[in-house]
Amino acid sequence: MTGPLGQTLTLAAYYAVLAVLAVYGAHRGLMVYLYYRHRRDAPQPAGPLAAWPRVTVQLPIYNEVYVVKRLVESVAAIDYPREALEIQILDDSDDDTREVAQALAERLAARGFAISHRARSHRKGFKAGALQDGLASASGEFLLILDADFVPGPDILKACLPYFADPEVGMVQTRWGHLNRDFSRLTRIQAILLDGHFVIEHTARHRSGRFFNFNGTAGVWRRSCIEESGGWQADTLTEDLDLSYRAQLAGWKFVYLKDCVAPAEVPVDMNGLKSQQHRWTKGSIQTGHKLLPEIWRSSLPWKVKVEAFFHLTNNLSYVLVVLLALLLVPAILIRDRIGWQRLAILDFPLFFGATLSFLAFYVSSQREIGRGWKPTLRSLPLLLSLGIGISINNARAVLEALLGRPTGFTRTPKYSIEGARGEWKTKKYRARGNGSMAGEILLAAYFFACLVFAVRFGYWIAVPFLLVFFQGFASTAALSASSWWNARRRLPGLMHGAG
């Protein structure tokens, strides 16, 4: 469609996509505003607890041979009366993790811990199923849930439990830290991305009276809150997000402790990150499809309803990024023919609005945890590249959710890497690649050709935009290919257990 009508439709589609992305960018800016408006409104316990209540620590694991020992030992080191503590290892493993976990349980039992190793012969319901099965036999009034890669501090229970003096509080979430933030550029970028969520978004939502969610780990639940809200359900890939919204719809209060940090391991290879992002993205869209109609019908304040909409639909933006990538070059050529000045009134507000909110969001998150703004600024191009590069992977997840295509719960591989040191390339549990790599390679080649064209014919104003998209798709494809190749080359059975 090269005639006037085709050009008009192309530009209309381009600006529509850009406008919706700008709206989601403005929402990110709102989160920064709400964070600073409520920065000093830290939550306080309703009062002292009469006694330390009985707590069950649930450890859902599946093929975690490299990290299960670290996890169980960190739980044993929690500062809490031993007579009031129960530990459940909820083990769905089908490899030697099961024997390691059993030995750890026997060792702690000999030291006087109330610990059980509950091994299922199936993965029905995946993590949600394991948690629900464990709940049936748990003796605790409260439940601390920890994923396999977490290393909680000794004070985690004594920091969280006083907030349950308010009988309406159903869950207390702590902030994730990052054991291997400095391992590589990829882990540093992931740490910044997660900090934006945990430092800015969670704090802003909680302290401004909006809904926020349990993140699947490093949080404490009141047992009655789980039971009265319908329990753990496996009809989405984000059972944590689903239960969080159902509980808050039922009237339970949540508390977020920004200054209580539970460190964990972020993925060290691109395919591991993609697997994690696919699950989170698909699950959030599934949860939105499941619960947004009920949220809109409820008597909740409008600020809660609108925030829930943005929270549960935010990952739709990945589909828009892919559409933007496909429309960018035709739009550049058409605007060059029409004249840039005539369309600058649309381009610049949308572009700078989205860019400034992006800058403010991530720079603020790092500043608020004591990290310098200059290193963060230097990382922003890589942040932007990763967001673009992973868009095909996540757009695929969105479409699968919208089309109702079922997929299993694929856990994220962990390798017991801390700090800047650790070996992972020779270890098993390597995440499988998926079809997104082919799309990344195609789009990287497309934008490289467009760059050559732009330089050859003097479309200099387009070069920075083309370069950002090329770098995003090319770097993601290269890291994905490297991960896939190392997995195939190093160990013949390396892919086993990655599901």
DSSP letters along 192-249, please? HHHHIIIIIIHHHHHHTT------SSSEEEEHHHHHHTT----SSS-HHHHHHHHHHH
- Residue 172 amino acid letter: V
Q: Which CATH superfamily is domain 1-326+339-425 in?
A: Spore Coat Polysaccharide Biosynthesis Protein SpsA; Chain A (3.90.550.10)
Per annotation, catalytic residue among 91, 92, 147, 149: 92
> Model pTM?
0.93
Count of Cβ atoms closer than 10 Å to residue 229 Cβ: 23
Report how far Cα 363 is from the mean position of its chain's Cα atoms: 19
Token look-up 């969105």 returns 398
Instruction: Give the phi and the psi of residue 219 in degrees, each rounded to 5.
Output: -145, 160
pLDDT of residue 356: 80
Query: CA–CA separation, 381 vs 184, rounded Å?
Result: 16
Task: Give percent above pLDDT 70 in the chain.
Answer: 94
Per annotation, catalytic residue among 91, 147, 195, 240: 240
Where exactly are the structural domains of the chain? 1-326+339-425
240 classed as catalytic: yes
Q: For the segment 62-104, what is each residue's pLDDT rounded down to a tens digit?
A: 999 999 999 999 999 999 999 999 999 999 999 999 999 999 9
Query: CA–CA separation, 418 vs 178, rounded Å?
Result: 9
Task: Give Rg (Cα) of the chain.
Answer: 24
Query: CA–CA separation, 248 vs 306, rounded Å?
Result: 15
Query: CA–CA separation, 123 vs 125, rounded Å?
Result: 6
Count of Cβ atoms closer than 10 Å to residue 420 Cβ: 11
Query: CA–CA separation, 229 vs 250, rounded Å?
Result: 7
Alpha helices in 419-462 (DSSP H): 436-456
**435 or 177, which is more confident:** 177
Q: How confident is the model at residue 131 (pLDDT cuts 50, 70, 90)?
A: very high
Q: How confident is the model at residue 331 (pLDDT cuts 50, 70, 90)?
A: confident
Report how far Cα 250 is from the mean position of its chain's Cα atoms: 25
Count of Cβ atoms closer than 10 Å to residue 296 Cβ: 12
CA separation (Å) from 271 to 177, 213, 385? 21, 26, 16
Mean pLDDT of 225-238: 97
Task: Give percent above pLDDT 90 in the chain.
Answer: 73
Query: CA–CA separation, 386 vs 478, rounded Å?
Result: 12
pLDDT of residue 345: 63
pLDDT of residue 442: 95
Q: For the segment 443-466, what is each residue's pLDDT rounded down to a tens digit?
A: 999 999 999 988 988 878 788 888
Query: CA–CA separation, 403 vs 257, rounded Å?
Result: 37
95 classed as catalytic: no
